[in-house]
Amino acid sequence: MVPSSHASEQTSSAIVRCNNVTRTFTRGGRTGRFRRGGATTAETVTAVADVSLTIAAGELVGLAGPSGSGKTTLLHLLAGLDTPTSGSVTVANTETTQLSRRQRTRLRLDHVGIVFQHFHLLPSLSARANVALPLVELGYSKRRRRERASDLLTQVGLSDRLQHRPGELSGGEQQRVAVARALATDPQLVVADEPTGELDTETGKQVLDLLADVADERAVVLASHDKQALDRTTRQIRLRDGARIGDKL
């Protein structure tokens, strides 16, 4: 049954569309196989089950649900980090299912910014160099990369940390560098996986304020267990056992 809230989802300004998306995985090895009628059979696990959704520019959408509900897998599908077993995912008017890995990498570079829970900053590089990394692939000159990264770090309140390496920054500062890096290419979609999971309450609030500001001009999707984070979203898509079981507006 399709949740009634689907009717309220916008389509004209949609950045992301998922149609009946399912993602299954096969568990290999001894722990993933069992005997049935004397034969060894691979165990199939459904991480996302027949999910449809639309997310428009200007929305800050939360993916909510217990551990194992499919939040991170769905987030990876939206970001083009993975492809569905069945169904379709469209990002910025490009259907991702039939793209090669290289084409999906280019799609992410052009249209998607990703904020990871554990930051994923390169420890040997400065904050500015970390933010500028996506621009190298786009062919920006060194001067333009430095200017863009400096501007973004200033916007997230780190103008005095441009040359600091991740090990010299607090957890909240590292997450703000990660947000700035996600915005470097001016993406239409930003996805964040447990963006406050490593942060204290006050620092988490600052990062959420930043993501809310980001959502003014683009679609932002965050997966979280954190009530503080989910309460900041414009709507929540609730998942259980990989299925969309309802929304909270």
Contact 224, 62 (CB under 8 A): yes
Tokens of 225: 């267990």
Task: Output 42 or 7, whichever has higher pLDDT.
Answer: 42
Residue 9 banded pLDDT, cuts 50, 70, 90: low
Please list the helix, strand and coil fractions of the chain in percent, rounded to the nearest 5, in that order: 35, 30, 35
Residue 21 DSSP SS3:
strand
Question: Which domains, ranges and CATH numbers included, belong to the chain?
Answer: 4-248 (3.40.50.300)
Q: Is the pLDDT of residue 34 over 60?
A: no
Dihedral sign from CA coordinates of 58, 212, 185, 97? negative
DSSP summary character for residue 222: E
| pLDDT above 60: residue 2 | no
Residue 118 is predicted with a pLDDT of 87
User: Are residues 182 and 112 in contact, defined by beta-carbon separation less than 8 angstroms?
Assistant: no
- How would residue 31 be classed by pLDDT, with cut points 50, 70 and 90? very low
Q: Amino acid identity of 94?
A: T
Query: pLDDT per residue over 47-89, tens digit each?
Result: 999 999 999 999 999 999 999 999 999 999 999 999 999 999 9
Kindly report the pTM of this predicted structure.
0.87
User: Percentage of the chain surpassing pLDDT 70?
Assistant: 89
Helices (H), the chain: 71-79, 101-111, 127-137, 142-155, 171-182, 201-214, 227-231
Antiparallel, parallel or unpaired: β 86-91 and 94-95: antiparallel
What's the confidence (pLDDT) of residue 172? Answer: 92
Mean pLDDT for the chain overall: 89
Give the per-residue pLDDT at 28: 62
The pLDDT value given to residue 35: 56
The encoded tokens of residue 63 equal 């993916």
pLDDT per residue over 169-206, tens digit each? 999 999 999 999 999 999 999 999 999 988 888 989 99
% residues pLDDT > 90 (the chain): 74
pLDDT at 197: 86
Is the distance from CB of 153 to CB of 159 less than 8 angstroms?
yes
Q: Which residue has the higher pLDDT, 40 or 122?
A: 122
pLDDT at residue number 246:
84
Contacting residues for 92 by C-beta, under 8 A, at least 6 apart: 15, 107, 110, 111, 188, 189
Residue 39 has pLDDT above 70, yes or no: no
* H-assigned helices in 59-200: 71-79, 101-111, 127-137, 142-155, 171-182
